[in-house]
Amino acid sequence: MAGLYDDLAEIIVRNVGGRDNIISITHCITRLRFELKDESKANTDVLKSTYGIVTVIKSGSQYQIVIGKDVISVYDAVCKASDMKGKLKNITEANITEVKSSADATEKLFSNALEKAVIETLVAPCDGVVKDITEAEDEVFSSEILGTGIVIVPDDGKIYAPCDGIITSFFSTGHAIGIHSIEGSEILIHIGADTVKLDGKGFEKKKSQGEKVSKGEILLEFDIEMLENEGYSISTPMIITNSDEYTDVIIEKFGKVNKGEEILILI
């Protein structure tokens, strides 16, 4: 097992720009958190495509590599590969030697582990712009009382299913939808803020409560222009209301996204 983590660690160290590019590294429950001298030296595409790595996230000054439940073992192996001294809170004094590529072997060893780490992937319910949930206009969502997730500002007035599942609730006003995915997540999509006050005006439901839906099926249409003209925000929270049942909820991408593009990873 040690060799398995060693192979992955060598790939990680090389593709974050080598030992000399690492200022520090810590870890949380699912992620390696690097501080790098120059993030442009990191080969993010290679890391994202490496088995054993769920995804890569850039957050402020941190370069985060999401591993999942094996993060501590991988962290220890990265410390070893880069000759780091100490644990958890450490500054690297790396002295890594050249190692031959073991990508093929690592892919075989980690393929099953990665499949187990990722419980579910959800896709964007519309074309639009993804923002952090803390930017939601309703404090109920921005405070994450109901769970974590994202805000998406739709480009048009069409909302599609982010997963296969069943519609567990669909407000008569059409402004909010609850979905139970076949993988177990509980998803709430809420169009705008205070839009319940419209009493259904501008909303057209395309599905009904209790219906099964497939990922990408249209759920509803709404009149963006009418909502905005009447002073309503169209920023749309998509919340995982049972997010406390997951080790981590990862936002795959901020900014412009297309309908059906992978947007949330649950592990």
The CATH architecture that domain 121-266 belongs to is Distorted Sandwich (2.70)
**Residue 114 pLDDT > 70, yes or no?**
no
Q: What pLDDT does 27 receive?
A: 86
Domain ranges (residues) in the chain: 2-117, 121-266
Q: Which residues are catalytic?
A: 28, 190
| Residue 151, beta-bridge partner list | 131, 237
pLDDT tens, residue by residue, 178-215: 999 999 999 999 999 889 999 999 999 999 999 999 99
Using CB atoms within 10 A of its CB, is residue 27 exposed (0-12), middle (13-18) or buried (19+)?
Answer: buried
Average pLDDT, integer, range 245-250: 88
pLDDT top residue among 255 and 93: 255
Please give the pLDDT value at position 93.
Answer: 32
φ/ψ of 218, rounded to 5, equals -70, 135
> pLDDT tens, 72-82?
889 999 998 88
Are 13 and 96 in contact by the 8 Å Cβ rule? The answer is yes
For domain 2-117, say whether CATH 3.40.190.10 is its number. Answer: no
For residues 155 and 258, what is the distance between their CA atoms, to the nearest angstrom? 9
Residues 6 or more apart in contact with residue 150 via CB below 8 angstroms: 130, 131, 132, 133, 237, 238, 251, 263, 264
Banded pLDDT at 267 (limits 50, 70, 90): confident
Yes or no: say if 208 and 154 are a contact pair by the CB < 8 Å rule. no
pLDDT digits (tens, 9 = 90+) for 15-71: 999 999 999 998 887 889 999 999 999 999 999 988 888 888 887 788 999 888 788
pTM: 0.70
Q: Is the model more confident about 156 or about 114? A: 156
pLDDT band at 84 (very low <50, low <70, confident <90, very high): low
